[in-house]
Structure 1
């Protein structure tokens, strides 16, 4: 039998439901006019608020897993993701459901994130305490017990109840394909609605980020998320991470070429409440050394750095110690600041440029440092 909203219907006690609905009093226009809008309570600035949801989609190998883990750590410990400038103003409890990655990937990347200051201003002890990871690959998962399947009413209810009972502030679902085993047709709006029940249930008590795959762009069509259009329904904001090709000239940064993960932001559903967030469209980043995201030159006329990505002392130290810059001029060009500012701040922090990584191109600027 195909999975649909109807076939997944949970049996209800009709009389109990009638009694509950009878006790509910809908608000009138007059009631609403006397209310104040709820305050914006950010979980991850600039786009995710308390009890809201967003979707992040991309092809494999773009950096989605790195990004999801960095978001989880940043929100759990309160901090800013280096290079992106996305900030969790205070720590909160986070649960990440990972249905795809093996233990080697999870352990190695989490260690890299924690060891390399990828999250600026992180409360490390709070992050260790607040982040829970539920992994399909965990060798201690009970033998013979199926992993969570978010396309079933039982697991939807269990997860929603557990999130509320344990006080999680953020739930990350990575990803739809690996956490909804009973889906047989991603293009079915009925099947999408059945899955989205769990997102709507969690949103009543916590914020939600859903990671998803994209379908490749076809002739005359933009790349977008895979599956039915109904998938975007419960999200306040949805964005894609478009691959930066291996031969893209934007990978040639002043300090040397960057290979590996990299993306350009594509917004598929503009933010309902934070219109300024939609200016992220077109910004591009590469994953550099130490798990830091490096802004790269976007299309002409767009910003190099997002407006909230300030050059903090931590960010300056990370760039200096990356060993990708031969001169302070290269460093200033990359950070998007005045060269004289770099000179003063490096002097104040007692920083000097170390010997660059072997193989980096010589700088053609014969003026040297400042």
Structure 2
């Protein structure tokens, strides 16, 4: 049996050229998403049913050269590998069909640069070398790989720092060898959701390694609360149609400003034309109350 120390000693580990690093300006950082540079792992965190799979699909469409449906302003485009493991292929087909009008001018482009491989029902496990190798082969040549959701891609204990560090190491290895970035979808911890902390870094479920060790940043997706509805002049009865995307962690550059989206028929998310009111929504409440009084006296 080979000695582990001998194997480590045999590695040809690259050294930085210190003189060159101090004296020559390096190439500009290559941003795949706001705050996420090429070759890093990032996370998209949300409660179940919040719409994170739609956000992921629309990001995939934008990075693959389709329209920027979310207003994320992608610096460059390239091939995208989207791996949904929670939903059946028919559900993915329905989502794509719901987006047909929004991407009408880019369908031929997306047919070439967006690859979707449904994995529901397959025991995918990135902690098994054969599975890690298979996904690495699929990721070769991609600019972005979307994993939907992380829980479906490993057999480890999410609360184990050691096992989650190993899992992230596998993903980072895929990034290093392929040049792709990986965005994994993950669920919000129940406590964070109940305490109104869904936009915090530590809202992510499981070990804090899944937050602390991701260098591509963390995006959180949240539903609109009653307080949010009042503050933005939205009818409380319509608030469930709105979601907010915030960047809870950005390692490279300032975090992206929060973005509000409205859920359309079929689930497609589009930028919501709403702004926070200086009066905290009191004017909108007064207008609704006035209308209700008028109806009661009519």
Structure 1 counterpart of 2:117, from 134, 147, 160: 134
Structure 1 counterpart of 2:207, from 185, 209, 228: 228
Report the counterpart of residue 155 of structure 1 in structure 2: 131
Task: Give the Cα–Cα distance (whole angstroms) in 2 for the partners of residues 102 and 42 of structure 1.
Answer: 31
Structure with greater proportional helix content: 2
Unpaired segments ≥5 residues, structure 2: 279-290, 292-298
Q: TM-score, normalised by structure 1?
A: 0.63
Q: TM-score, normalised by structure 2?
A: 0.76
Query: Secondary structure, in 3 states, of the residue corresponding to 2:191?
Result: coil
Residue 105, structure 1, aligned to residue 80, structure 2 = no
Cα pair 1:74 1:88 within 8 Å, conserved? yes
Structure 2 counterpart of 1:287, from 263, 266, 276: 263
Higher RCO (C-alpha under 8 Å, 6+ residues apart): 2
Query: Secondary structure, in 3 states, of the residue corresponding to 1:77?
Result: coil
Structure 1 stretch displaced more, 84-93 or 236-245 = 84-93
Residue 125, structure 1, aligned to residue 108, structure 2 = yes
Residue 18, structure 1, aligned to residue 9, structure 2 = yes
Structure 2 counterpart of 1:70, from 33, 51, 58: 58
Cα pair 2:222 2:245 within 8 Å, conserved? yes
Cα pair 1:62 1:261 within 8 Å, conserved? no
Matches for 1:136-215 after TM superposition, within 5 Å: 136-137=119-120, 146-164=122-140, 167-180=141-154, 182-183=155-156, 185-204=157-176, 205-215=179-189
Cα pair 1:55 1:212 within 8 Å, conserved? yes
Task: Give the Cα–Cα distance (whole angstroms) in 2 for the partners of residues 64 and 96 of structure 1.
Answer: 13
Structure 2 counterpart of 1:37, from 7, 26, 33: 26
Report the counterpart of residue 237 of structure 1 in structure 2: 217
Task: Give the Cα–Cα distance (whole angstroms) in 2 for the partners of residues 25 and 129 of structure 1.
Answer: 35
C-alpha displacement of 1:246: 8.2
Cα pair 2:216 2:251 within 8 Å, conserved? yes
Task: Give the Cα–Cα distance (whole angstroms) in 2 for the partners of residues 178 and 100 of structure 1.
Answer: 7
Q: How many residues are paired up?
A: 270
Task: Give the Cα–Cα distance (whole angstroms) in 1 for the partners of residues 14 and 64 of structure 2.
Answer: 37
Cα pair 1:57 1:213 within 8 Å, conserved? yes
Residue 60, structure 1, aligned to residue 39, structure 2 = no
Q: Deviations over 1:229-281 (max 9, x none)?
A: 11121333112112225897469759x96475532234432x12221x3432x
Query: Secondary structure, in 3 states, of the residue corresponding to 2:184?
Result: strand
Cα pair 1:160 1:198 within 8 Å, conserved? no
Q: What is the root-mean-square deviation of aligned Cα atoms in Å?
A: 3.4
Distance change (3 Å), C-alpha of 1:299 and 1:260: closer
Cα pair 2:158 2:164 within 8 Å, conserved? yes
Q: Deviations over 1:147-176 (max 9, x none)?
A: 421232332233224422xx1111001111
C-alpha displacement of 1:212: 0.5
Query: Secondary structure, in 3 states, of the residue corresponding to 2:243?
Result: strand
Task: Give the Cα–Cα distance (whole angstroms) in 2 for the partners of residues 25 and 294 of structure 1.
Answer: 44
Query: Secondary structure, in 3 states, of the residue corresponding to 1:123?
Result: helix
